[in-house]
Amino acid sequence: MKVILARDLQAASERVAEANRNRFRQHGVLAINLMGSPGAGKTALLEATLPRLHPRYGCTVVEGDIATTRDGERIAALGVPVVQLNTGGACHLDPAMVARALEELPGGGRLLFVENVGNLVCPAEVDIGTDRTVVVFSVTEGPDKPEKYPLAFSRADAVVLSKVDLLPHLDLRREDFLDVLGRCAPAAAVFPVSARTGEGVDAWCAWIEAQVTNQYSHPPGEG
Ligand code: MG
Ligand code: ZN
């Protein structure tokens, strides 16, 4: 009887993630894993971000959803190359899905955004080979969520606090979100953003540009 161990599958997954990472290095690409709850505003954030960064860096996008091509269509409408991954039920992307999507995207770009399946749990547990992890966290979710979903926040390089234009309509204070993020995402840069009004988008885009510079200002192996 053939026995397959979960830890061997895990090792195989890690090898594919590492291959993705190497591919990004070879092509001078910075890859960002965007995660967050369904409806956090991940795609809206991309719609606010891509028109600013695509002309200068060349962006490509992988859209992960259980079903539909809705988000892929929104990105394609911006003129940015996109592949839609439909997981058919799986609640996160795995590195092999991302590797398959990369085969369909044109080369030459410097920035890849991978919008993970809307979910604050397992996308945080699965390494897909990206260089930075960003959590999109909307004010309508409430300031208790970083403590309830600690892994996603503790591993984030940045947190985009989205939909801040709605704060005047909520009994919640911006300071309460910033306080909890300071505790639960101590390593993360925090960007209060409204994709609707454009508030905070400049600072968020400047952070991305700094990540590209940081990633490639040192020779491989030194940075
Ligand atoms: Mg989306
Ligand atoms: Zn999952």
What are 131-161's pLDDT values in tens digits? 999 999 999 999 999 999 999 999 999 999 9
Residue 219 — very low, low, confident or very high, per pLDDT cuts 50/70/90? low
| Residues contacting 82, CB < 8 A, separation 6+ | 60, 61, 62, 63, 72, 75, 76
Q: How far is the CA of 116 from the centre of ligand 2 (A)?
A: 10
Q: Where are the domains positioned within the chain?
A: 12-212
Q: How far is the CA of 56 from the centre of ligand 1 (A)?
A: 24
Q: How far is the CA of 105 from the centre of ligand 2 (A)?
A: 24
Closest among 7, 4, 31 to 20, alpha carbons compared = 31
- Check residue 222 and give its pLDDT: 46
Q: How far is the CA of 63 from the centre of ligand 1 (A)?
A: 7
Q: How far is the CA of 57 from the centre of ligand 2 (A)?
A: 31
The CATH number of the domain covering residues in 12-212: 3.40.50.300
Long-range contacts of 63-66 (CB under 8 A, 24+ apart): 63/115, 64/92, 64/93, 64/97, 64/114, 64/115, 64/116, 64/117, 65/117, 65/118, 66/90, 66/91, 66/117
Closest ligand by atom to 40 CA = 1
Q: Is the pLDDT of residue 19 over 50?
A: yes
Express each pLDDT in 87-131 by its tens digit: 999 999 999 999 999 999 999 999 999 999 999 999 999 999 999
Q: Is the pLDDT of residue 223 over 50?
A: no
Q: How far is the CA of 50 from the centre of ligand 2 (A)?
A: 27
Closest ligand by atom to 85 CA = 1
